[in-house]
Amino acid sequence: MSTYAIGIDLGGTTVKAGLVSIDGKILQQISMPTEADKGPAIVAGQIVKAIKKISSPENDKRIIGVGVATPGIVNTDGNTVEAPPNFKGWVSFPLRDSIAEGLGNNIPLRIENDANAAALAEAKFGAGRGKKNFLFVIWGTGVGGGIIIDGAIYHGPHGGAGEFGHGSIDYEGPECNCGNIGCIESYIGQKYLSARAVRYLETRRDSKVWKLVQNDAAKIEPKVLYEAAMMGDKAATEIMTEAGELLGVAISSFMNIMNFDLAIVGGGISAAGDLVFKPMNQRVKKCVMAPLRPIAQVLPAHLGNQAGILGAAGLVMPE
């Protein structure tokens, strides 16, 4: 009889729960409101409800464990979650213990940072299948990441590894919210990339982008840039190409230092496909050191927004 794992993807507005087979198929999926504004104890309660709802009597005995992908830093104790962005009044909370108590059973239960869980999902079921070492990058609102070493999530000494968006690509660059200077996130994170595009397009009023946004600069965002580029617009293509190149520079530095030959990039903006992956790979081929050059590559993530559930479920699956 086949067995399942439950994967929970905790988001700012929705708790998603999936029943996942050992080979990484989501057989059933439900969702609940997170109620993030009511504080962490209520959120934990919502997660418990979601787990109970998806553990129907006919599934119950075949479930090998529950994994939870959460925003914020998961402490090295595997229990405490610190300061998930957009969760009101959540400073530090024992999420694992709180869910375990709510479940009232001894089912294996693991908590993981959501970017790390997505990296694990790609390692187990996605673009990183069969690859033991890679950098995973989520390129969307921010630039996040996870590091897979020897097939496992690398957490770092304090549980916070993988903050790829806060590596600097310019020591004289703009100051980032995090305190660092020239962080890659402050060039290509959604908000920053949009602002760069507006500046670039101000002197290029003939760009198709302006028509697409009906001359409203506030509506310029990566999706529109992609659309314009697909219509052959030169300026939009240049902006997205540069964004891909910048990410390529940051990835190359990491590859050189860590001796990696693979990065997998997912997240909303990565949906632009070749438009960004081509310049990214060109830059990587140029910028990595000679021994890595023939093998280094950047691949698109495969799992999209299923990565949270799949990675969470993967936490409690056998190797």
Helices 222-230 and 234-258 pack at an angle, to 10 degrees, of 120
Neighbours of 269 (CB within 10 A): 26
CB 52 to a second copy: min, Å: 34
Edge-first strand order for the sheet with 80-82 is 73-74, 80-82, 92-94
Q: What is the DSSP string of 29-56?
A: EEEEE--GGG-HHHHHHHHHHHHHHHS-
CB 255 to a second copy: min, Å: 9
CB 197 to a second copy: min, Å: 18
- Decide whether 143 or 301 has the Cβ nearer to a second copy: 143
- Decide whether 56 or 177 has the Cβ nearer to a second copy: 177
- Decide whether 135 or 228 has the Cβ nearer to a second copy: 135
Longest distance between any two alpha carbons in the chain, whole Å = 64
Q: Kindly list the distances between the CA atom of residue 9 and the CA atoms of 41, 52, 105, 155, 249, in Å, as whole numbers in the listed order.
A: 17, 15, 21, 19, 31
CB 305 to a second copy: min, Å: 24
Residue type, position 79, single letter:
N
Helices 274-287 and 234-258 pack at an angle, to 10 degrees, of 40
Q: What is the DSSP string of 51-103?
A: HHHHS-HHHHTTEEEEEEEESSEEPTTSSEEE--TT-TT-SEEEHHHHHHHHH
CB 299 to a second copy: min, Å: 16
CB 114 to a second copy: min, Å: 16
Beta-carbon contacts of 248 under 8 Å, excluding residues fewer than 6 positions away, are 279, 280, 281, 282, 283, 284, 287, 298
Helices 190-201 and 234-258 pack at an angle, to 10 degrees, of 140
Q: What is the DSSP string of 3-22?
A: -EEEEEEE-SSEEEEEEEET
CB 183 to a second copy: min, Å: 8
CB 257 to a second copy: min, Å: 5
- Decide whether 171 or 216 has the Cβ nearer to a second copy: 171
- Decide whether 43 or 287 has the Cβ nearer to a second copy: 287
CB 156 to a second copy: min, Å: 3
Edge-first strand order for the sheet with 152-153 is 152-153, 143-149, 134-139, 262-266, 297-300
- Decide whether 71 or 167 has the Cβ nearer to a second copy: 167
- Decide whether 57 or 171 has the Cβ nearer to a second copy: 171
- Decide whether 24 or 162 has the Cβ nearer to a second copy: 162
Paired strand residues for 112: 69
Cα within 13 Å of Cα(231), Cβ side: 15
Interface ranges with a second copy (CB under 8 A):
73, 82, 132-133, 145, 147, 154-164, 166-172, 178-182, 245-246, 249-250, 252-254, 256-261, 286-293
- Decide whether 65 or 151 has the Cβ nearer to a second copy: 151
